[in-house]
Chains A and B, each alone.
Chain A
Amino acid sequence: MASGTIALAVAIMMGLCVCGPAIAQGMVASKAMESIARQPEAAGNIRISLILALSLIEALTIYGLLIAFMLVSKI
Chain B
Amino acid sequence: MEETNVLFSIGPVQITSTLTTMWVIILILTVLSILATRKLKDVPGPLQNIAEMAVESLQNYFAGIMGAKTAKKYFPIFATFFIFIVVCNYSGLLPGAGHLKGFAVPTACLSVTAALGIVAFFTTHTIGIRERGLGHYLKTFIMPFFIMLPLNLIEQIVRPFSLALRLYGNLYGEEMVLEQLYNLFPILLPLLMNVLSLIFCLIQAMVFTMLLGIYVSEAAEE
A binds B: yes
Q: What residues of chain A have their CB less than 8 Å away from a CB belonging to chain B?
A: 51-52, 55-56, 58-59, 62-63, 65-66, 69
> Which B residues are within 8 Å of any A CB, using their own CB?
162, 165-166, 168-170, 172-173, 176, 200, 203-204, 206-207, 210
- B207 in contact with A52 (CB, 8 Å): yes
- Residues from chain A with a CB closer than 8 A to the CB of B176 are 69
Q: Is the beta-carbon distance between A52 and B206 smaller than 8 angstroms?
A: yes
Point out the residue from B166, B206, B210 that lies within 8 Å of A62, measured CB to CB: B166
Whole-angstrom CA separation of A55 from B200 in the bound complex: 9
Q: In whole angstroms, how far apart are the Cα atoms of A56 and B200 in the complex?
A: 12
In the complex, chain A residues whose CB is within 8 Å of the CB of B165: 59, 62-63, 66
Chain B min CB distance to A47 (Å): 12
In the assembled complex, the Cα of A58 lies from the Cα of B172 at a distance in Å of 14
* Chain B residues near A58 (CB-CB < 8 A): 170
Check B203 against A66 for contact (C-beta < 8 Å): no
Report B20 CB to chain A, min CB distance, Å.
25
Asked if A62 and B207 make an inter-chain contact with CB atoms under 8 angstroms apart, the answer reads: no
Roughly how many angstroms separate A15 CA and B168 CA in the complex, as a whole number?
A: 21
Chain A, Cβ-Cβ closest to B177: A65
10 cross-chain CB contacts under 8 A: A51-B203, A52-B207, A55-B200, A56-B207, A58-B170, A59-B166, A63-B165, A66-B165, A69-B173, A69-B176
With a cutoff of 8 Å between Cβ atoms, the chain A residues found around residue B172 in the complex are 66, 69
What CA separation (Å) do A23 and B207 show in the bound complex? 21
Q: Which residues from A are CB-within-8-Å of B166?
A: 59, 62
